[in-house]
A and B are shown apart, each in its own frame.
Chain A
Amino acid sequence: MVLTGGLLVGGALVAGAWYYLTPKYSRVGYKPIQPVAFSHNTHVNQLGMDCRYCHNAVEQSWYSNLPDSAKCMNCHNQVLKDDPRLALVRESAATGQPIPWVQIHRVPDYVYFNHSVHVTRGISCVECHGQIDRMEEVYHAQPLSMTFCLDCHRHPELKLRPLDKITDMNWQPESPLQQREFGQRAIKNWKVESLENCSACHR
């Protein structure tokens, strides 16, 4: 009887730890309240804007910048010119004080990450950020844990795609077979490495 009890409690503890003590639980779904109700669904899905209009450094830098408010004002000096939802944007553009956006995705400081390597080598935003174009508010869609990174680094051929489809969140390969063929060709032509050594990400 003590044995069944012990097994049950022990099993529940293990199951609980497995289920809860992982970034799949602790991070996925994080959706902070942002100072401006900016919607990727409106701007990307409905207006068809490219990610790189706003996140324009993503191809050159490790860091994918958030747009400054002057960039919003390119349109919003005419669009919704007096809308109260955009009051903070107008104020920020006038004073130069940045909008205090809340950061959602963040790798620990002991991890080296780089956007440009991925984006210029055929890895799309959707692999790591999910269907941003459908989000009214951005949330953490992938765990961004070490397993998550390594799963892809071991088999990049399953995720590589043509370079002009990087910012297309809805692109699908025609078939798994075609994806594998394309991936293998891309690995050879672009000389993509399968990076598993610790020093790639912990430098």
Chain B
Amino acid sequence: MRYFFALFAVSVAAVIALLGFRGSHFRKPPLYIFPDMEFQLKLRPQAPSGFFPNGRTSQLPVPGTIARAVPVQTASGPVFPFEDAPVNTGWVVGTTNFVEHNPLPITSALLKRGQQRYTINCAPCHGGLADGNGITRKIGAMAVVANLHDKRIVEMPDGELFYVITHGRNLMGPYGAQVSIEDRWAVVAYLRALQLARLGEPEDLPPQLRTLLK
């Protein structure tokens, strides 16, 4: 009996020593004991695949194809994302002149959305106030970041801001792939609000709010 207890204690200790505790970190992939249907013959996004020549499951759209889409609701009616229209290009149709005004109806919902998307996508570099003092500049990691209150940028037409977000410019990368068309115009609208906050005069405020100044 004594041997049995000793053997028992040793084997329990050995199992614990070998297998460790829950939650400890390890590098090797988890063990699948019965991986019955865990791995099926289907493609997952961003995974490797032998089916396509470039070895990936996520493929770019074939040139010339159009994604199925819902139209963007502009102030002058619905427009599909593949149409040659100012809301998609930032240009006046048939020219390369930028449109002066945001084609979406400016509502408080649009500005709220713009604020959220600006904070996610632009604030790390341009800062919450758009003065170019984002965290990357503050810690001295990034040398060049535009101050969006520059006179040149304030005087840009809305379409040019949209174009810069979509395609990038100089050292700034493009954001067209990750920020949808509506969201880009929402960011433009919010950016205008930020610029106005710097340029506004006390007379621009409604009288009730003006008394709060001072």
Chain A positions near chain B (C-beta within 8 angstroms): 1, 5, 8-9, 12, 16, 19-21, 23-33, 47-50, 52-53, 56, 63, 65-66, 70-71, 73-75, 77-80, 98, 103, 108-110, 139-140, 164
Contacts and interface: CB of A to CB of B under 8 A. Distances in A.
Contacts of B25: 29-31, 139
B152 interface: no
Contacts of A108: 37-39
Given A30-B29, A109-B37, A47 B120 contact: no
Q: Which 10 A-B pairs have the closest CB atoms?
A: A74-B173, A108-B38, A109-B40, A79-B141, A50-B120, A56-B178, A110-B37, A29-B25, A31-B25, A78-B142
Interface in B118-143: 119-121, 124-125, 135-136, 139, 141-143
Interface stretch (B16-24, B95-103, B192-200, B205-213): B16-24
Contact of B135 (A19, A23, A24, A48): A48
Given A25-B22, A74-B172, A139-B25, A53 B121 contact: yes
Nearest to A93: B173
Contacts, number: 96
A29 B135 contact: no
Interface in B31-52: 31, 33, 37-40, 42, 44-47
30 contacts: A1-B1, A8-B8, A9-B8, A27-B30, A30-B26, A31-B25, A48-B135, A52-B120, A53-B120, A53-B121, A56-B178, A63-B45, A63-B46, A65-B45, A65-B46, A71-B178, A74-B172, A74-B173, A75-B141, A77-B173, A78-B136, A78-B143, A78-B144, A98-B56, A108-B37, A109-B37, A109-B39, A109-B40, A110-B40, A164-B116
B46 A26 contact: no
Contacts of A109: 37-40, 42
B70 interface: no
A177 to B, nearest CB: 29
B119 A50 contact: yes
A12 B29 contact: no
